[in-house]
Chains A and B, each alone.
Chain A
Amino acid sequence: MDHVQLAKGLLLADPWTIPPDPQQAPDQAAEYNQQVTRFCTDLCNLHNQNPNQLLQILIRIQYRFGWVPYAAQSILSNDLKIAIGEIRAVIAFYSFLSSEFQGRYRILLSSNITDYMLGLDNVITACQTHLKLSPGTVREDFKCSLELTSCTGLCDQGPAGLINGYPIKHLDEHRICELAQLVDAGTPFNQWPEEWFEIDCGIKQSGTLLNTHIQPGNAISKWLDKEPETFLEEMKQSGLRGRGGAGFNTYEKLWAACRNASGDQHYVVCNADEGEPGTFKDRVLLQNHFQQVIEGMTLAAWVVGAKQGFVYLRAEYAFLLDQLNQQLERYRQKGWLGKAIGGCLDFDIQIHMGAGAYVCGEESALIESLEGKRGIPRVRPPFPVECGYLQQPTLVNNVETFACVTAIAMAGAEQFAQCGTVKSSGSKIHSISGDCSRPGVYEWPWGISIREVLHQCGGENAAAVQIGGPAGILLPKSQFDRTLAFEDLPTGGSLMVFGNHRSPIDIVSNFAQFFAHESCGFCAPCRVGCRQMQHFCQQLQDRQIGSSDLESMKTLIPLMTQLSHCGLGKTAPLAIQALFEHWPELIKEAETTTDGLSFDLQKAVADTIAATELQP
């Protein structure tokens, strides 16, 4: 089966083996431990005992055994010279790593709001019925486990999930019922129906980027015989701005700054973390247009003076790893990666895996993660362009940004900037999901209005749209004449459509859940603030809002946006803020009408009793 072959890099065809019990089966347990030991020792050798490779080694162990066994932890501690506590600290940070066995089949259900809108609740019920599994549990026979996970980047094909890393789409009760039989029988994945795993690119509208298909070397060869300055000038003329969300001027903030920064080495990093819920356009670029990304990175390396590049690929896209590595190998064989590219440039690209952490899309957290650590955003300044990977100047750009670079290299800045608006040149790829008849991937010039977007994707009945994911803007119908452009509504490419029948409170609650799950926990405003927002949303759902809750929320929103350490905490309260702004009547309705008399003492002190184990 093709996809299994393609994915052989990380994903196994067989389900994981249940670790034998050392008491009941000492021989098998010893054999299992030996397997683990051999595998880990080989891995550490392969990575030259480099402690920066810790995360890469851990994710390989996780995908090989279904967990990171204790034996593995102590070998890594020995071989990489990292204290065992630090190794556990890293395992506990990343959602996809676990220090307990997660069953032969680990089922992760994508829990974005769009998955719920497509029937995730029914899927969860079906799991309870047919798999005897509730979210957050491992079945007693260790055959399977079930977890909710943040958006897996398949919102146009949801409810979606991952099984042992294989993406699975269009889940429903029927599919779960069939799946339960395969799980019970321990069927290897190459005997599962192939179509379950076929991931559509879902391209509904192409433009400059999606219509281009290049042959290796097409873009690079046009430039390498010139001076890097000439291409830098071309970049400047193009007016290109980052496609990852923040929209920095790529030439000024990144390329020129990185080129001018001094350091022993420079690095180029492609941010393929694509963690913003509702975004799946980078997946499509990686699936169909990776060559453009490779060449964009190579041109960047040439300009800033880098020899090494990384693609930081989110764990959810592990199924693409082998395919991407094959393309890199093809480039090496043809002489477009490696030594003396075009006779003048040494540059190669490695793919580094993420392990399930949204915050690792933030560029400085990404760099920490590349260095094998927990993904905690750094203090900035200094910015990565001056002091990034291994403290060296590092250029981090989004997947699509690099594809744009190739477009500029091929057609020239003038052609590139012909479409779009004054401050937003070129076209933008959008991932559209939710209540519309044609969800999928669309490429339009910047400056398109929401109304037009909705017309094209069949979302005319929308009551609200979320632009740029949960970290972005929740826009009510009254503002649909606004446009997608850095001048008005900036976006990294997620657009979720909500019909009239959807409750803004449900939407905002889902986002609050997401942020509470994904906050890195480093800084107090976000770590605790996200939990409090989650609690506030629960109160909204329960219609239990008191006036002091409103007051504290009104302090918390600006506190988080201004005091948080990174963009995650700064943007996390925006959806609740939008609720206050555009749907105040819903909050009003959720205010509790009960007076002090109906106060339930038992309920109010239940948590305290549980925590202190004291009975009143």
Chain B
Amino acid sequence: MSQVLTIDGKDLAFDSGDTLFDVAQAQGIYIPHLCHHPDYPPQGNCKLCTVDVDGQSKCACTTQAETGMSVQTDSTTLTEYRRALTELLFSEGNHHCPGCERSGNCQLQATAYAQGMTYSSFKLLNPQRQIDASHPSVLLDRDRCILCGLCVRASAQEGKHIFTIAGRGSDSTLAVNSDSGLLADTNLSAEDRATQVCPVGALMVKQQGFRIPIGQRIYDQGTIDDLGNRRPQYHSPKSKTARIAGDSDD
């Protein structure tokens, strides 16, 4: 640790190869993020982690730390951008939170609250993408997918390569790598990190319903800034008491 930069006025040491996100996280500084998980290579597609580096907007999860950088993780402008970004993500999908099983455990919803979003001022695009309920224990609701690519990376790291992003522009969709294109024809399991890493209610373990009542869910206990990006603990679909090991938080 010979190199130093400042984040929010604090001098911090870092190793070469660290990203700005890594440096901040090691110090317990929370930077909003949705498409990044420290266990996977960063991609930089949601842009929520954008910070100010010497007057320029940079993506914290993909920018390498350099000696002498002065990083600002928060400002009124950054909050405004992040709020607008969550609004954009909401406008792109069908996020009807009150009817969504993931409500209260959802990182998009929690981020929106934390950034002060109350409604989407953008036109709701109401997509009609294919739902995949073919798998016995995993549901894929593409209308809630924010195309963060975490499941793609997690599945690749597990050696299964089940997911990929297909198409272009706003027609991009999460595609499944099987001949039929259906999850039933893959070897995905509810225990896979690919299933569990999803930050929103797009990939979900079935038969969880409202086992954990609203009011007792992750972000009912505190804000995402304080609690970090967490994922729910799933119950095994086969038993009322057994739990599936939950994915790591970040």
Contact = CB atoms under 8 A, between A and B. Distances in A.
A93 B50 CA distance: 27
B169 A520 contact: yes
Given A607-B124, A608-B126, A529 B88 contact: yes
B169 A516 contact: yes
Interface stretch (A183-191, A255-263, A484-492, A551-559): A551-559
B167 A516 contact: no
A610 B181 CA distance: 25
B216 interface: no
B241 interface: no
A528 interface: yes
A564 B57 CA distance: 10
Contact of A522 (B45, B85, B146, B166): B45
Question: Mostly helix, strand, loop or mixed at chain A's interface?
Answer: helix
B122 interface: yes
B177 A84 contact: yes
Contacts of A555: 80-81, 84
Interface in A1-15: none
Interface stretch (A118-126, A127-135, A530-538): A530-538
Given A379-B62, A611-B94, A521 B169 contact: yes
Interface string A490-524: 00000000000000000000000000111111111
Given A556-B84, A611-B94, A520 B168 contact: yes
Interface in B168-183: 168-172, 175-179, 181
Given A84-B179, A524-B45, A524-B88, A89 B166 contact: yes
A532 B177 contact: no
Contact of B171 (A84, A521, A556, A610): A521
Contacts of A612: 94
B92 A528 contact: yes
B75 to A, nearest CB: 12
Contacts of A527: 92, 147, 169-170, 172
B203 to A, nearest CB: 16
Nearest to B178: A85
Contact of A92 (B89, B125, B167, B177): B167
Interface string B84-99: 1101110110100000
Contact of A83 (B44, B45, B81, B164): B164
A352 interface: no
Contacts of B170: 516, 519, 521, 527-528, 530-531
B89 A528 contact: yes
Contacts of A558: 81
* Chain A interface size, under 10 / 10 to 19 / 20 to 34 / 35 or more: 35 or more
A88 interface: yes
A525 B62 CA distance: 16
A563 B166 contact: no
A610 B128 CA distance: 9
Interface in A555-579: 555-556, 558-559, 562-565
Nearest to A521: B172
B78 to A, nearest CB: 10
Q: Determine the interface band of chain B, counting residues with CB < 8 A from chain A.
A: 35 or more
Nearest to B56: A562
B123 interface: yes
B57 A374 contact: no
Contacts of B89: 524, 528
A556 B85 CA distance: 9
Given A93-B166, A559-B85, A85 B47 contact: no
Interface in B187-239: none
Contacts of B161: 83
A357 interface: yes
B116 interface: no
Contacts of A516: 169-170
Contacts of B168: 92-95, 357, 374, 518-521
B146 A89 contact: no
B23 interface: no
A594 interface: no
Interface string A164-180: 00000000000000000
B84 A86 contact: no
A95 B85 CA distance: 28
B81 A518 contact: no
A86 B167 CA distance: 10
A524 B46 contact: yes
A593 interface: no
A532 B123 contact: yes
B91 A532 contact: yes
B127 interface: yes
A548 interface: yes
Nearest to B34: A524
Contact of B57 (A83, A519, A563): A563
B57 A562 contact: yes
B99 to A, nearest CB: 10
B84 A559 contact: yes
Interface in B135-173: 146-147, 161, 164-172
A611 B142 CA distance: 13
Given A520-B168, A610-B128, A85 B181 contact: yes
Contacts of A551: 121
Contacts of A528: 88-89, 91-92, 122, 125, 170
Interface in B59-73: 59, 62, 64
Interface string B14-52: 000000000000000000000000000011111100100
Contacts of B178: 84-85
B81 A85 contact: no
Residue of B43, B124, B169 with highest tally of chain A CB at under 10 A: B169
B40 to A, nearest CB: 14
Contacts of A563: 47, 50, 57, 81, 85
Contacts of B169: 516-521, 527, 530
A524 B44 contact: no
Interface centre among B81, B125, B168 (most CB of A within 10 A): B168
A531 B127 CA distance: 12
A532 B166 contact: no
B121 to A, nearest CB: 4
A527 B121 CA distance: 17
Nearest to B122: A532
Interface in B104-140: 121-128
Contacts of B124: 607-608
A85 B126 contact: no
Contacts of B43: 379
A565 B88 contact: no
B146 A92 contact: no
A379 B58 CA distance: 11
A74 B179 CA distance: 9
A552 B45 contact: no
A381 B44 CA distance: 13
15 contacts: A85-B166, A85-B176, A89-B165, A89-B175, A92-B167, A93-B168, A379-B42, A379-B43, A379-B44, A379-B62, A521-B170, A524-B89, A528-B125, A532-B91, A610-B126
Interface of B: 42-47, 50, 57, 59, 62, 64, 80-81, 84-85, 87-89, 91-92, 94, 121-128, 146-147, 161, 164-172, 175-179, 181
Given A525-B47, A555-B81, A565-B59, 18 more contacts: A89-B165, A89-B166, A89-B175, A92-B167, A93-B166, A379-B42, A521-B170, A523-B45, A524-B45, A524-B147, A528-B122, A528-B170, A535-B123, A555-B84, A556-B88, A559-B84, A563-B47, A611-B126
The 10 A-B pairs of least Cβ separation, nearest first, read A85-B177, A89-B166, A521-B172, A611-B126, A92-B167, A528-B88, A552-B121, A562-B57, A519-B169, A83-B177
